[in-house]
Structure 1
Amino acid sequence: MTTQNTLSLLNMYRARNVHAVKTPSGVVFMGVRNLRGDELKTLRAIPQSELEAALRWQK
């Protein structure tokens, strides 16, 4: 998955009140109870390195 795809997914989930938060232990998600099972599975399959790169692009 590319950084642009990851960024698109993060933006799509943000509309559903799911937010990515960078912590010292890595990127964690807040509000995942708003997602369906398949969406949560997709979100958890994204590697931490790609999540961090997408968050850097957002700034």
Structure 2
Amino acid sequence: MLLVSCFYLLPSVHAQERRTPVVIAVEKVSPAVVNINTEEVIRQRANPFTGLGDEFFDQFFQ
């Protein structure tokens, strides 16, 4: 039983050693970190003559 309890205590001991000043600082400022995404929608007028297959209309509406 003592051997099993030692295995449960080892990770917590190592976790305390890994709490460097950098880790503590990151934990303090992490709520201030944000993610900003932007998106732009470009409106274009649709060509009503698209798909007619006529070169006459293609000359004027390109």
Tell whether the structures are fold-level matches, with TM greater than 0.5: no
Larger Rg: 2
- Measured against the shorter chain, the TM-score band is under 0.3
TM-score (norm 1): 0.27
TM-score (norm 2): 0.27
Higher RCO (Cα < 8 Å, 6 or more apart): 1
